[in-house]
Amino acid sequence: MWEDWIKNTKQQGAGLSWFQSRNGKTVLVIVVCIGLLAIMWPLGQVNPQPAAVTGTAVQPVQTGKSQQIGEQLEYILSQIEGAGAVKVDVMLASEGSRQYAHNTREERRDTSEQQAQGLNKRVVEQSTSLDLAVSSGSPLLIEEKTPEVLGVLVVAEGASNIAVKEQLTAATSTLLNVPLHRVMVVAGKGGR
């Protein structure tokens, strides 16, 4: 079958090279498509196996602003009378955002040419560039948005006392400017 196809190809392309014939171009397109498909095809995803949990406590992993806010809150809340040792976990929607000043430069070039048959050719070129505004080697910060707090968990030794628990909840809500339903205060080990 393959030999018959090659003979037919040679007869149809009389005088043309194999790549210039219709069948040759078809085969070339198919080979290129298969090659592109092979390059773009995902090789599979490796899902790491979760670590086996033993009887020890697992610490939540905090990064960036979440950890910073948590540590500051721990220090402040531990100063409340009767709170005891305090641990805080803050869940953020994002790390916040910063907007920097920039200089905008726009250029416009308009050229007209007279062509041979009395036709006019007009070319308009426009370009815009944005450069970060810098003062004393530092970029100029226009606005910084704090991250949105999704929820806060406070574990305090003294939270078994209702009055202390209410103070911890109110302080956390006030400091982070979040509604009370996003703050949970629970008693930790050593609470009475």
pLDDT at residue 37 in the model:
77
**pTM higher than 0.85, yes or no?**
no
What b/e sequence results for 90-121 when a residue is b if at least 16 CB atoms lie within 10 Å of its CB, and e otherwise? bebeeeeeeeeeeeeeeeeeeeeeeeeeeeee
pLDDT(183) > 90? yes
- Round to whole Å and give the CA distance between 45 and 150: 30
Confidence of residue 13 (pLDDT cuts 50, 70, 90): low
pLDDT at residue 165 in the model:
92
Confidence of residue 24 (pLDDT cuts 50, 70, 90): confident
- Count CB atoms within 10 A of the CB of residue 177: 8
Model confidence pLDDT, tens digit, residues 57-101: 444 445 578 888 889 899 999 899 998 899 999 888 877 788 888
pLDDT at residue 186 in the model:
93
What b/e sequence results for 11-49 when a residue is b if at least 16 CB atoms lie within 10 Å of its CB, and e otherwise? eebeeeeeeebeebeeeeeeeeeeeeeeeeeeeeeeeee
- Round to whole Å and give the CA distance between 106 and 125: 11
- Count CB atoms within 10 A of the CB of residue 141: 12
Sheet (strand 149-156) strand order? 86-92, 149-156, 183-187
Find out whether 106 and 127 touch, Cβ atoms under 8 Å. Answer: yes
pLDDT(55) > 50? no
Find out whether 155 and 164 touch, Cβ atoms under 8 Å. Answer: no
Of 66 and 185, the one with more pLDDT: 185
Confidence of residue 9 (pLDDT cuts 50, 70, 90): low
Unique residue bearing structure tokens 């007209």? 112
pLDDT at residue 170 in the model:
94
pLDDT at residue 52 in the model:
47
pLDDT at residue 190 in the model:
67
| Residue among 137, 145, 66, 65 nearest 98 (CA) | 145
Confidence of residue 34 (pLDDT cuts 50, 70, 90): confident
pLDDT at residue 60 in the model:
43
pLDDT at residue 65 in the model:
80
Per-residue pLDDT, averaged over 155-177, amounts to 92
Alpha helices by DSSP H, the chain: 2-12, 22-40, 64-78, 162-176
Find out whether 96 and 160 touch, Cβ atoms under 8 Å. Answer: no
